[in-house]
Amino acid sequence: MNDKPSVVFLIPFASRTVKAKWEIACVQLQQTLKSIQNSTSGNYCVVVAGHEAPDFDVSLDSRFIYLPLNHPIPIHANLNSALRLDKLTKIAAAWNHAKSTWNPNYVMKLDADDFISSRLVGWLDTEGGEAGYLIRHGWLWHSGARYLIQRTENLDRVCGSCLIIRSDFADKQGPFLTSCEGVSFDEASARFAASDHYSLVPGSGISTLLLNDTHQRYAAQFAYLGHKLSSLPFGAVVYRVGNSDSLRMTEWWGRGAQTLRMLLGRIRRTRLITSRLRREFMLE
């Protein structure tokens, strides 16, 4: 690994106290780490931050660090907001550790059950240079499915593991916190947030580019700072769906009533899991 790695992956790991199935959470985290270790370029580093260490050794080699934390889980009237604030606290601690230890070129938040492409780090080695990259193209995979996977061109609408930020932009601030992080809006702002999922919401709280969980609004956040958010030109993330205790409520076939058009769209995007795709993401 170079003295200044291309990217650090920050992985917040939820506490045992909020995980319904701790053993499964540990297995899925291990799969996520294996997908990173499968990268064709070794020019990366990883910080996993959590209250309790998982049931395996995170330190696969010197690039992987487990960062133990003991902060109280935030209290909030909305449970999902409390868990998101806990997640952001862990990301902040992991980022501070990564900056002081490695000073990487880029930073990516990665959920503890998703997978990255083996090509991602190498692409950043040779092609990276923009202020940030949005990962729009990717895959939705029902955990454990052996044969079928769903292609998506809108990964950022459903998955938080969709943004790569150049390090000198990660700490830039703006009105980026919304109700998903627990901010209370007045009636007008709440209506705006419900009708427009991609713009900045009037009345939003102040945070950095890195420390918010409003992934559908990332392009607007970069625009606020005077920069266009570029798009990664290939599918770089597999988003695992179907976890009963995940913060992300998207399920394999969606939620609520489904129209015929929606069903046909899902069928059209469904693909066989090829051996090449399985190797690229280390799907198990």
Task: Count CA within 13 A, CB hemisphere, residue 240.
Answer: 27
Type of residue at 260: L
Determine the pLDDT at residue 252. 39
Nearest to 211 by CA among 238, 178, 249, 185: 178
Domain assignment of residue 272, yes or no: yes
Q: What is the spatial distance between Cα 248 and Cα 22, in angstroms, rounded to a whole number? A: 17
Secondary structure letter of residue 13 according to DSSP: E
Q: Which residues contact 165 (CB under 8 A, 6 or more apart)?
A: 106, 107, 108, 131, 132, 209, 210
Q: What is the spatial distance between Cα 209 and Cα 218, in angstroms, rounded to a whole number? A: 8
* Helix, strand, coil percentages for the chain (3-state, nearest 5): 35, 20, 45
Domain assignment of residue 206, yes or no: yes
Nearest to 5 by CA among 40, 42, 33: 42
Secondary structure letter of residue 72 according to DSSP: P
DSSP E strands in 59-121: the ranges are: 64-68, 106-109, 115-116
Q: For residue 269, what is the domain's CATH number? A: 3.90.550
Residue 259 pLDDT grade (very low, low, confident, very high; cuts 50, 70, 90): confident
Choose the weakest-confidence range: 48-57, 71-80, 233-242, 263-272: 263-272
Residue 247 pLDDT grade (very low, low, confident, very high; cuts 50, 70, 90): low
Residues 164-219 have pLDDT tens digits of 999 999 999 999 999 999 999 999 999 999 999 999 999 999 999 999 999 999 99
Determine the pLDDT at residue 249. 45
Domain assignment of residue 2, yes or no: no
Type of residue at 102: W
Q: What is the spatial distance between Cα 134 and Cα 223, in angstroms, rounded to a whole number? A: 13
Please state the domain count of the chain: 1
* Phi, psi dihedral angles at 11 (to 5 degrees): -120, 105
Determine the pLDDT at residue 257. 55
Residue 141 has which token pair? 């995979």
Domain assignment of residue 238, yes or no: yes
* Phi, psi dihedral angles at 213 (to 5 degrees): -120, 25
Tokens 């930020």 belong to residue: 165
Determine the pLDDT at residue 258. 63
Nearest to 25 by CA among 61, 52, 64: 52
Domain assignment of residue 62, yes or no: yes
Residue 7 in contact with residue 44, Cβ under 8 Å?
yes
CB neighbourhood size of 84 (10 A): 23
Residue 112 pLDDT grade (very low, low, confident, very high; cuts 50, 70, 90): very high
Q: What is the spatial distance between Cα 138 and Cα 232, in angstroms, rounded to a whole number? A: 10
Domain that holds residue 246: 7-281
Determine the pLDDT at residue 246. 64
Domain assignment of residue 1, yes or no: no
Question: Residue 183, class by beta-carbon neighbours within 10 Å (0-12 exposed, 13-18 middle, 19+ buried)?
Answer: buried
Determine the pLDDT at residue 42. 97
Determine the pLDDT at residue 211. 98
Three-class DSSP category at 28:
helix
pLDDT of residue 1 exceeding 50, the answer is no
